[in-house]
Structure 1
Amino acid sequence: MSISGVHVTQAQSPQPHSSEQAPLPPHYYYQQPQDDEIDLRELFAALWQGKWTIIACTALCTILAIAYALLAQEKWTSTAVIAKPQPSKLSEYQTQVSEYQPIFDVYQQDGTVLVSHKLDDFSQPQTLFDIFMQEFDARSNKKRYLEHSRLFKMALADLKTDKGSELTSDDTAKLYSEWYKKLSSKLVDSKQTKGPYILTAESITAEDSFEFLKGYVDSINKRSQKIALDNLRSAVSAKKNELLQQRNILTDQAENRLQVEKETTQYALDIAKSAGVKTPVQNLGANEVFAIYLGANALAAKITALNQLKNLSIIEPRLQQTAAKLSLLTHLNIDNNVKFEVKQYLEEPEKPINRTAPKRSLIAVLGLLLGGMIGIGVVFIRFSFKKN
């Protein structure tokens, strides 16, 4: 362009060189190089270089684990499986219970008998088995057994030696609580509520665990039998007291009726004498308060008979039934030596073959794995510090 003879050349905008980078599309990012990435080859090389560290940690932990497994106190568990007794094992006891059945039955005047079911549960196998399980789990029974147990006395003496002074009540209570857990029971099938049950006892040797369980089961068996007999004795005693009270009430009622009958007859005799009625008269009403129609002679004889009456069951027949039941009670005795079972063994207690704890092979393997993990961890940490 020329202005006043002067030529001016218009500046051209610079063109981009072909060698310059082309514009980037939107949302595009450079992938930055990752300096902190771990090369697997470097990692394995580091593990190889630290192999002696890994071996040392593994060996140390394995040795410690084996030492613990060998030195830790052993625990042996003896078991037994029990269920309710078979009826054939209760025959003598059931016979004894049935002997008292007539005392509880009710004999009516028309000859019918109302059979009582008061004693039915006493000889049921499930009832006796429930008594055994309640006594087995009772802490009071466990404590009573432990007080005479050789094993518990040894544990008590060891605790006293370790403490170096007299045991406090808290120390003793804690030891009892620990030993209560050594005697336990659980259902074979948790879905059932009536058994069978698994009984377990723990101790430091196989022989001791067997002795511990069998001794406790035998003691509970005897105690349960005694409770069953005591329950029967208690029911019979309560029935006897009831019959004695019933006899006293019926006797009072009979004596009162006899006295009323004497007075009524005496009044009738006085009236008959005044009326001059000596022999029975049919025309007089039999429903009158005073039986004048019998005549003075009959009324006098009746008074004589009433005065001589000694057997009150003539007036109150129920007295005879009550007296018969009380008489039966005097001839029956509960035999404390009767033989019967309150449970049956499905599996009797035996000496365990394998210890419950410690699991030495498992402890050794876990020690080996733990040592290897610790060794690898140490190598990784060392490698990370060197890399950074």
Structure 2
Amino acid sequence: MTSISRIPGGSSSDEIDLFALFQAIWQQKKIIIAATVVSGLVALGYVYAVTPEYQVTSVLRPAAINELDALNRSGVYTLPPSEALLKVGASLESYDSRLGFFRDNQELFTQFKRPGRTLEQSFEEFNRDSLKLVLPDPKKADSLSAFIALELNYPKGVDGVQILNGFVDYAVKAEREQIASDLKVIVNNRLTELKGKIDAARSSYEMGKEARIAKLQEADNLKRAQLQDELKALRQQLKVVRTDRMAQLTEAIGIAKSLGIQKPTTPSALGDSARMGDSSVMRTEINNQQIPLYFMGVEALEAERSALQQRKTDDFTEGRIAQIARELQLLQSNREVEVLKQRQNEDVFLSGVEPLRAEVVRLGNLSNLDISNLKLVSVDRKALEPMRPVKPQKALILALGVLLGAILGVLIVLIRHLLGTRRAQLSGVGSPVMTAKLSSEKGSGKVLQNDRS
């Protein structure tokens, strides 16, 4: 017997027999069975009343290296397979990507729409409760390679397989278009930069050519001015020489007239003619001294003076003047300047632009790179039609319903038994010795004797 409690100074003690308690539960087993059946029926009704919910999963893994080789060999855009997988994963998780797919395929989401809600509100519920991106746990090393999984929970009547596979294709296509757009912008920026360098080289060449022409023309002008100055000085010099010669001739003529020298003669011949008269003598004279000019005779001197007075120009007397005239004639046109000005395709003369032009051609060929078939990820597992719903779990719910019903029935029986025992104790307070044995027709528990000492 188990003593439950004692009242100090009192005259009674309460004791409960566990066997009687179990007997009471057994006697009222109908209540337990009824509660279990009712709870099971409620669970069964819930199972068949609630809309089944299914789950599909798609798993993505990094693409093969050769799939991205053409893009990586372009030299302007590098995309390893792992980074491509992360880009697609970011697109799958992107709110804008999900909303864009929701807007473009509203016929697939009719069951998610509710009256009085906007399109964005309906999408918010779908995005919050249905889609889930699963990433590998970095703390676990049991995965042989990186992956990204996308799970979709959807109610019965929704084509979840088409939604998930369509969204994966939509995200991959969107990321592929983004890569194509990025590649185009990068190539255009690089082409703009290269064309700017080529334009700078062309501008530098044009400035250099103009500077070269200016230097050549300046040198020609300087040379021409120097030759003209030399020619003017030579002519002035020749004029002075002619004038001096005429003065010498005039002086010599006066001396020759005073000596009566009409014909050219020598000092010896002049002395002999005075002594010998008209005798004809042939002489040979060797003299290292310069014979004065008047010995040329008046006739020769006057003839020379007359010729000098009638001379128009003295240029023929100086060979340098002819050379100057030749050089001035050559300076009339600079052939190098003419060739520089007559160049048609000046780009062929640009220096250091061959690598830039080759790069421009290479980048221009990148426009033929087919990005539409670029495989960013490998779809390791596509979403397939599920065999059974994930919610509700009928067996578990029925088991829980039955269990809860049994527990509820036991609690009802215990409460009734305790309440009956309590009423019996209250009715037996004050008698010196009381033995009570209660047998309830409704299945209440047996109460043991209560002795009061």
With the length of structure 2 as denominator, give the TM-score of the two structures.
0.61
Which 5+ residue runs of structure 2 have no aligned equivalent?
1-7, 229-326, 423-453
1:76-155 aligned within 5 A: 76-90=54-68, 94-95=69-70, 98=73, 100-101=74-75, 118-119=76-77, 121-122=78-79, 124-147=80-103, 148-155=105-112
Q: Tell me, which stretches of 5 or more residues in structure 1 are unaligned?
A: 1-29, 102-117, 161-166, 278-294
1:210 aligned to which of 161, 166, 174: 161
Specify the alignment match of 1:48 in structure 2. Answer: 26
Structure 1's consecutive aligned runs of 4 or more residues displaced over 6 angstroms after TM superposition are 30-34
Aligned 1:244-255 pairs, distance under 5 A: 244-255=195-206
Q: Do the aligned partners of residues 386 and 231 (structure 1) sit closer, same or farther apart at CA in structure 2, a change above 3 Å counting?
A: same
> Within 5 Å, which residues of 2 pair with 1:1-388?
35-90=13-68, 94-95=69-70, 98=73, 100-101=74-75, 118-119=76-77, 121-122=78-79, 124-147=80-103, 148-156=105-113, 159-160=114-115, 167-169=116-118, 172-180=119-127, 181-191=129-139, 195-205=146-156, 208-276=159-227, 300-313=334-347, 316-330=350-364, 333-336=367-370, 338-388=372-422
Deviations 1:134-155 (A, max 9, x none): 2111122212222314331243
- Kept after mapping to 1: 8 A contact 2:176/2:372: no
Q: Identity rate of aligned residues, in percent?
A: 20
Q: CA offsets, 1:324-380, max 9 Å, x none?
A: 443455555335564231111222322112211000000001111111111111222
> What letter corresponds to residue 107 of structure 2 in structure 1?
R
More displaced 10-residue stretch of structure 1: 370-379 or 68-77: 370-379
Q: Is the 8 A contact 1:96 1:334 kept in 2?
A: no
Is 2:133–2:150's contact at 8 Å kept on the other side of the alignment?
yes
Report the aligned-residue RMSD: 3.2
Cα distance, 1:188 vs structure 2: 3.7
Taking the aligned partners of 1:332 and 1:340, their CA distance within structure 2 comes to: 14
CA pair 257-374 structure 1, distance change in 2 beyond 3 A: same
Q: 2:102 corresponds to which letter in structure 1?
A: L
Per the normalisation by structure 1, the TM-score is 0.70
- Which deviates the most, 211-220 or 53-62? 211-220
Choose 59-68 or 298-307, whichever is displaced more: 298-307
> Shift of residue 216 of structure 1?
1.5
Summarize deviations over 1:121-178 as a string: whole Å, max 9, x none.
14x322322222121111222122223143312432xx22xxxxxx144xx4442122
Provide the C-alpha distance between the structure 2 equivalents of 1:143 and 1:45, rounded to a whole number of angstroms. Answer: 64
Check 1:198–1:376 CA distance in 2 against 1; reply closer, same or farther (3 A cut): same
Q: Return the offset for 1:215.
A: 1.8
| Structure 1 letter corresponding to 2:112 | A
Task: Name the SS for the 1:184 alignment partner.
Answer: strand
The aligned amino acid for 2:389 is: R
Separation in 2 of the partners of 1:219 and 1:245?
38
Q: 3-state DSSP class of the match of 1:255?
A: helix
CA distance in 1: counterparts of 2:355 and 2:345, whole angstroms = 13
